[in-house]
Amino acid sequence: MGTIWDEVDIEARLWTIPVERMKAGKEHRVPLSGAALAVLKQMHGIRHSDYVFPGGRDGRPLSDMALLMLLRRIGARRDHRPRSTFRDWAAERTNFPREVAEAALAHTIPDAVEAAYRRGDLFEKRKKLMAAWADYCGKTDTEGAGKIVSLAARKG
């Protein structure tokens, strides 16, 4: 959640996570869906920090735990995590190749021979995957996405 505005290029529809923040020690480019851009534009309009999602007035970013607590408050199961939910959805509900979903999560290729031959990051295919994920996340219960809870309805 430590995304800073310098990593985001709204015009290019791109978020670039620097090597220092990646486990694999390699920069990761994330294509931004229309829905993600809408959130970013809204956050930019109320910007009061270098962080896209500031955690408060102390200048630190919103913590990963804050997202997990939000998920618990709206009734998500304890074993549901955003990354694993995305991975399960990609495998079970789409026809995107496994390597595209793995690249979207910045997972490294464990096979050294395969890694030596794969030099691309499947960026164009990941654009389509992220657009499909945004469409899926934006569906209502009647559209078959499962139980979606409105955050506005849960306040109070």
pLDDT digits 0-9 by tens, 40-61: 999 999 888 899 988 877 778 8
Looking at residue 116, its pLDDT comes to 62
Looking at residue 73, its pLDDT comes to 86
Looking at residue 3, its pLDDT comes to 92
Predicted TM-score (pTM) of the model is 0.77
pLDDT tens per residue across span 20-40: 999 888 899 999 999 999 999
| Mean pLDDT for the stretch of residues 124-143 | 86
- The Cα–Cα gap between 90 and 85 comes to 9
Looking at residue 59, its pLDDT comes to 73
Would you say residue 118 has pLDDT above 90? no
Both structure tokens of 19: 């090597």
Tell me the domain boundaries of the chain: 5-144
- The Cα–Cα gap between 153 and 141 comes to 15
Annotate 50-108 with three-state secondary structure: CECCECCCCCCECCHHHHHHHHHHCCCCCCCCHHHHHHHHHHHHCCCCHHHHHHHCCCC
- The Cα–Cα gap between 58 and 12 comes to 31
